[in-house]
Structure 1
């Protein structure tokens, strides 16, 4: 091959390399340009979104002196409250407020008529709704004590709104009414409450507390919804705490009700809880007297041997495990004990006349304690 041909080939190769380098530079420029544009768009969108949310969380009018009356109905959801506040001009954006509330894990908003201003900050509005700082005073307060059964709660409700007790009690057990509540509280009121062995579906589900009502004669549904809202608020953390055990709301309220009915003021509820769990683990019947009385529909100071023969699925002397459902409502102490029982080997307990509770591990120990503290009374 001549030197001219060799030179010519080298020149062609050199030109091709230069062309490739030029193309590579162009591609790099295009990629760089696209990357810069994409980054700028993302920054613009992100910055715009941030500014939008920031603006939506600011007061509607920080200089406003206007006070507006806003009524939050009983049983309102966060969505409903957000929309009501936006319609009233108290917040800028209902959706942003709702997601802010969920992000901050805020809950426990109280019904009532509030006096709010467009100048209020979001945290101040939330605090006002949580603490119940309302414009008007409550028309009355409904106090449901711990350890009350549904019929007793019906008496309290009936007296508060001047209705016949039977009318209230019948509605509390009305099947269509129960089903409407189940649709509203699917996480709380499950099909467990429709078990044919259940005496009263709402037994144990109306949380003991003092409830303010802002009109003189609320409906039975309004009162029940208020109590169920509180029940859901209180027991949800306990269900999350006991997630490893996979205890259901119905089981939790049932166990808590047994603890509530057995406990005296001086009793260690967590030890009582441990006795129940220990007996279940060993396949022993719970043999708790309050279930026998509940089966009979009676209130007695002392359970007799003849009472133990009552034929009922609630009779824990005859049937092992938990009864079909709660036998009363339970307070936070009993709920806590049901989720966090003491670590013991106790299988028995008995209450003395002084209210002390004696825990024992064996039947012989229990009988000895019973002979000393009960038989000779």
Structure 2
């Protein structure tokens, strides 16, 4: 009798250790969310309810054999009924959670990045912004800055839902460090530019044009103006310093006392106005040999460059006839 019961128990355990269905059935994957601080019994109950294991009792015994209680990592998991319980347990113990891709385009401000993170349910927007302005946290990343504007590198990332904002930010800053490679740092030294100046200039270039072919030319204009102590007169910097910008720059905006008003302030603004991509960073460090001091939009995504004010005024007349259109760099 005892032998028979043992054999029966063995068969039951072998049955419970098998997948719910065969791989040949190709069951659709399920996204299962394991809440934080779940007990192993609660996890087993959830898996049984989702039809991913045959027996929660057998799964609990399997977990005990591996001291799995309280070691399950919370998060989203992609599981199928064709997975053996041991395989499911392995995923849960190793924390192979679902990663959600999120693309941060070039030229976004950290406020826009925080909003995007929240929209994708990756991180809390308010907490993200708080940390991006927290001096102590920024210092822990090895940076001496008032904020991380410009240093949240635009790229495609993969994060689990509910990831801590500090981990997201640390990852983005690390991507910036990898992009700002040693040869770029050396070039900045040759130009006698600090890292912050490079990122600041790159952010302005990023906001001025999306055309790769003219980034170096835009950069040359700004380098020429900086060298001649001519105000940059960049609309994007003015916009960055405005509160409640409605999409239209007015004459009074060009007289605002903001330190980002490069119509009044000579030199670079006090910091980046957005997150520049690698091409903008490279352009900031490798301007073309152009002697241009002006550029005006052709209204097709590109610009007309001029070396003299007379040429620039002619370009303005040609491309900006309607009064509501303004040149990117107006008359000085």
- Fold agreement, TM-score > 0.5: yes
Secondary structure in structure 2 of the residue aligned to 1:202: coil
**In the comparison of the two structures, how many residue pairs are matched?**
229
Which one of the candidate residues 166, 174, 182 is aligned to 1:221?
Answer: 166
> Could you tell me which residue of structure 1 aligns to residue 125 of structure 2?
165
> Could you tell me which residue of structure 2 aligns to residue 336 of structure 1?
282
Which one of the candidate residues 311, 314, 323 is aligned to 1:368?
Answer: 314
Which one of the candidate residues 106, 110, 122 is aligned to 1:150?
Answer: 110
> Could you tell me which residue of structure 2 aligns to residue 179 of structure 1?
139
Distance of 1:244 and 1:276 partners within structure 2:
17
Q: Is the counterpart of residue 276 in structure 1 residue 222 in structure 2?
A: yes
Secondary structure in structure 1 of the residue aligned to 2:179: helix
Distance of 1:300 and 1:207 partners within structure 2:
26
> Could you tell me which residue of structure 1 aligns to residue 179 of structure 2?
234
How far has the Cα of 1:244 moved from its partner? 1.5
Secondary structure in structure 2 of the residue aligned to 1:243: helix
**Deviations along 1:210-246, whole A, 9 cap, x unmatched?**
1122x33210011011101100011133112333223
Asked if 2 retains the 8 angstrom alpha-carbon contact of 1:256 and 1:330, the reply is yes
> Could you tell me which residue of structure 2 aligns to residue 320 of structure 1?
266
> Could you tell me which residue of structure 2 aligns to residue 74 of structure 1?
none
User: Residues 4-23 of structure 1: matches in 2 within 5 Å?
Assistant: none
Distance of 2:122 and 2:261 partners within structure 1:
35
How far has the Cα of 1:338 moved from its partner? 0.5
How far has the Cα of 1:137 moved from its partner? 7.2
How far has the Cα of 1:263 moved from its partner? 0.7
Distance of 1:333 and 1:163 partners within structure 2:
27
User: RMSD across aligned C-alpha pairs, in angstroms?
Assistant: 2.2
Uncovered stretches (5+) of structure 1, i.e. residues with no partner: 1-133, 195-200
Asked if 1 retains the 8 angstrom alpha-carbon contact of 2:122 and 2:163, the reply is no
The alpha-carbon distance between structure 1 residues 163 and 219, as it changes in their structure 2 partners (threshold 3 A), is: closer
Q: Is the counterpart of residue 303 in structure 1 residue 303 in structure 2?
A: no
Uncovered stretches (5+) of structure 2, i.e. residues with no partner: 1-93, 326-332
> Could you tell me which residue of structure 2 aligns to residue 4 of structure 1?
none
The alpha-carbon distance between structure 1 residues 338 and 162, as it changes in their structure 2 partners (threshold 3 A), is: closer
The alpha-carbon distance between structure 1 residues 138 and 209, as it changes in their structure 2 partners (threshold 3 A), is: farther
Alignment TM-score, normalising by the size of structure 2: 0.64
> Could you tell me which residue of structure 2 aligns to residue 3 of structure 1?
none
> Could you tell me which residue of structure 1 aligns to residue 205 of structure 2?
259
**Deviations along 1:168-195, whole A, 9 cap, x unmatched?**
32232223322322xxx2xxx23xx23x
The alpha-carbon distance between structure 1 residues 300 and 236, as it changes in their structure 2 partners (threshold 3 A), is: farther
**Deviations along 1:250-308, whole A, 9 cap, x unmatched?**
11100100100001336500000000000011110000000100000455554232210
How far has the Cα of 1:354 moved from its partner? 1.6
Which one has a larger percent helix, Structure 1 or Structure 2?
1
Secondary structure in structure 2 of the residue aligned to 1:325: coil
Secondary structure in structure 2 of the residue aligned to 1:268: helix
The alpha-carbon distance between structure 1 residues 340 and 222, as it changes in their structure 2 partners (threshold 3 A), is: same
Secondary structure in structure 2 of the residue aligned to 1:151: helix
Distance of 1:227 and 1:167 partners within structure 2:
15
